[in-house]
Amino acid sequence: MNLFFRLLRVFLNAIFSKKEGKITDLYKLKFSVWLTDQDMFAHLTNSRYFSFSDLGTINFIIRSGCWGTMRKRGWIPVILSEKVVISKMLKFPQGFDLNTQVTCWDDTYVCLQHNFIRKGRTHATVNVLAKFAATNRSYVNPAMVLETVGHDTTSPPLTKTFIELRQDILDGKSDQKNST
């Protein structure tokens, strides 16, 4: 995490927020592009999209009520795959909204979508595929997390992006088996 001060701000705001949301709610954060976020071409460097997405994920986990339960049980989210599509570059000193939402899940994986929006236009989208792990190495799935945080809901339909990211992971596992 290379956005330490923004991480601190997101974490403290989320912890002290009075409002707790649902798993499927849209969570919004406001940021601006700093000079240190740019690359030599004077736009937001590609890696920053993933760093800001991490902040969106942290905000989501805390505000949705998952964080306390996950900490008590020793559960952690593990990012397995990320995909960014940039349609228009962000530049210093532009402000933007980061909208984070869970799009869908299955028996193993969860997909989050992070949209970078400026003046009503989506400049970039980062899709993240994650699963849960336990510090004691026991099995954790999305249904267990939902149940323990008191959210009784089913997944929205699986998105094309979710299916593609999941397949990339499954193909990677089969490649590892074939190489041994």
Span 119-158, pLDDT tens digits: 999 999 999 999 999 999 888 999 998 888 887 788 989 9
Is 58:80 a contact under the CB 8 Å cutoff? no
pLDDT tens per residue across span 164-180: 999 999 888 655 554 54
Q: Which domain holds residue 15?
A: 4-174
Measured in whole angstroms, the distance separating CA 143 from the mean position of its chain's CA atoms is 18
Strand order in the sheet with 95-105: 27-32, 95-105, 110-118, 121-134, 75-86
Q: How far apart are CA 13 and CA 10, in angstroms?
A: 5
- pLDDT of 174 reads 55
Residue 104 covered by a domain: yes
Helix (H, G, I), strand (E, B), or coil: what is residue 51? helix
- pLDDT of 88 reads 96
More confident residue, 166 or 20: 166
pLDDT at 2 over 70: no
pLDDT tens per residue across span 39-60: 999 999 999 999 999 999 999 9
Number of domains in the chain: 1
Residue 143 covered by a domain: yes
Residue 125 covered by a domain: yes
Residue 81 covered by a domain: yes
Give the phi and the psi of residue 23 in degrees, each rounded to 5: -60, -40
Q: How far apart are CA 56 and CA 112, in angstroms?
A: 9
Is 140:148 a contact under the CB 8 Å cutoff? no
Residue 156 covered by a domain: yes
pLDDT tens per residue across span 65-100: 889 889 999 999 999 999 999 999 999 999 999 999
User: Tokens 């397949």 sit at which residue?
Assistant: 167
∠ at Cα 177 (171, 180), nearest 5°? Answer: 140
Is 62:21 a contact under the CB 8 Å cutoff? no
Residue 63 in tokens: 């505000």
Residue 180 covered by a domain: no
- pLDDT of 177 reads 53
Q: What's the CATH code of the domain at 162? A: 3.10.129.10
User: Tokens 């986990």 sit at which residue?
Assistant: 61
Residue 179 covered by a domain: no
